[in-house]
Structure 1
């Protein structure tokens, strides 16, 4: 696909020219046809428009008619590699997959966030943000050692201090509300987390799964700006299409500003739930992978593949792109306006929507064939173009997959 005279990953100097790219998700005043974008040596947009006549030394990336959007944001990942037993290296799911902002969803708690910051956030070329786990130890030994077994798992004073000392990196609190984590403690950790989030004036992301706590109970506690992740899971007692009252509650809460996030993961996305919800008019606010070592080679692979799954069950193209750009950016207080304006630092993903016959599975093990795929080709960070592609598992783990799910 695109070729460039730049060497991906090497230190960049001078100007960069992106040619023949079609803007999407930049707002109503953005150009609607193919343009060129000139980025100066400081990584800021210097000029854009059709067929720019740029003189002098400049590195070029030929978009060949591909789409260009604000940089993709993955709102739910686990990248505290070495600090937890499930986290992947950020390089596996970042710029080389078209993702320019990676958000870790609770891998670190207050007791070990300093290590996450020093060893993962600071060295990364991508922007990395984090939801701080309410449990002090975070996901050190995920599901084998619960981070929220009882009130002794939470140090309120240290959690508040950790957020206040790291507000440039921490964007909210994360609570996992399911019985495999909290046991008989139920919804109480969500209440404690919400109290702290109010004090700190930050949102909370809540994982919903096997009850208790009940999805319904969690929604009643949250408010505008908070996030439900795993919103289209297919677990008994936590699926929004098995209970009309829950569906209506979820739709009402979404209308009032609670954000529904996909959080695909290894156990938390159902083709059927997503298709029915979208047909009934309930679209997710954001699309995220919940990528970790147990989902990477199984159902998830990467953000582009996850986006393609939502497209396949009826989510419109423009809404899919919004759900990985301006929507998640707004959830973590990143700029969402004037992203294609002179003087703005360049942060883009160049991608195409390619024909496909790829067979994939959801977290329930159901197979589906995708006829369209979001294929990232470049991540652009300032004046650095980074070649990107979808993740290709050496041996996809689809053993035990259930017969194809008919969603057409």
Structure 2
């Protein structure tokens, strides 16, 4: 069946199976009629509607609340690694993108004007603790010293942009903070407490130690790259760290995948899930250096969690209900007449695709999520997985890498 179809309401979504709509999720296939104003007009099985309505037959595909990617980098033109929202948004089945700290207080106004406001996807953001954000990611670290942080300006920028900013982002690894260790996490937590918003912390090469970070965080805060395979930062190489992560997750600290180019391990994820420790949310950490290899897109990242043992329904919840709670996006009554339409239509299909984690380990994906449409208001956007281009060897001053 061809899915290269784009419509603007009124639209009838026919023969779709709801999932992840909470306790009120209907059983069995339904139809959804969306008015030209983008709001739900009618929901039910086999709706009889006017022939003037543009009909999209889901042929039994799944429909969920619109997928949310809780960790992307989309300050395109404002940082040297960011993608355009269109590269990882609606055309990949994702209706909400959450930028994880690309912009700091010094340049958030540009991110708002040139990215958030024009985008058809819903865009939210974690503001970087460092003033410059990820302007020249890693080449010019944003947290080298206390001079890189302006607490007063962060408070001012949040006040001016509270409808867009959902939290504070801190990258806590030695390639960013050097010998500063865990101190930036403490400063970020203080600001998050003042503003009553969560903090997302990147864990990586220690210091800071993953353990130290968890001990600072509280309920509602997020650890991204939770299943990384880096030496000194893997929850599976240290039983005390695993126990601490398990306890913190039980207390409401949210474990986020944040796949990225260096931060997801099949082995760590499979071992943790086998022991009952599931991630709270699944996100990609997509940027220009991770999209072509090894991440691709959110659907493929979801498929990777499926292959290491995460249940299908939990995977879908981890890109809908779970991240929605982080950004305070209401999820009740998403299938109610009068609500604005925000859905992802997708299939789960048999496959035989080799996928790679951030450590270079390969796993064969035998079942894969295939997005078909992103429904944003009255617009039905054809969606599909990203097909990576051939990798090329790039020379750097310190050696070579694949891009």
The normalised TM-score by structure 2 is 0.96
Work out the CA distance in 2 between the residues paired with 1:258 and 1:397: 39
1:40 Cα deviation after fit = 1.3
1:55 Cα deviation after fit = 2.2
1:347 Cα deviation after fit = 0.2
Give 2:363's match in structure 1, choosing from 351, 365, 368: 368
Work out the CA distance in 1 between the residues paired with 2:391 and 2:244: 37
Matched, 1:232 2:227: yes
Q: Which runs of 4+ in 1 moved over 6 A?
A: 397-401
| Contact residue 209 and residue 233 of structure 2 kept, 8 A | yes
Q: Secondary structure at 1:108's aligned position in 2?
A: coil
Q: How does 1:245-284 map to 2 (within 5 A)?
A: 245-284=240-279
Matched, 1:134 2:129: yes
Give 2:340's match in structure 1, choosing from 319, 342, 345: 345
1:48 aligned partner: 43
Equivalences, count: 396
Work out the CA distance in 1 between the residues paired with 2:194 and 2:137: 28
CA separation of 1:397 and 1:290: change in aligned 2, threshold 3 A: farther
Query: What's the C-alpha RMSD, in Å, of the aligned pairs?
Result: 1.5
Work out the CA distance in 1 between the residues paired with 2:108 and 2:393: 34
The normalised TM-score by structure 1 is 0.95
Give 2:167's match in structure 1, choosing from 167, 172, 175: 172
1:404 aligned partner: none
Give 1:294's match in structure 2, choosing from 289, 294, 298: 289
47-56 or 122-131, larger mean C-alpha shift: 47-56
Work out the CA distance in 2 between the residues paired with 1:225 and 1:71: 22
Q: Secondary structure at 1:107's aligned position in 2?
A: coil
Work out the CA distance in 1 between the residues paired with 2:393 and 2:317: 30
1:398 Cα deviation after fit = 10
Per-residue displacement from partner, 1:1-34 (whole Å, max 9, x unpaired)?
3558x645xxx3x411000100000112221201
Per-residue displacement from partner, 1:270-290 (whole Å, max 9, x unpaired)?
000000000000000000000
CA separation of 1:288 and 1:110: change in aligned 2, threshold 3 A: same
1:81 aligned partner: 76
| Contact residue 2 and residue 62 of structure 1 kept, 8 A | no
> Structure 1: which 5+ residue stretches go unaligned?
402-408
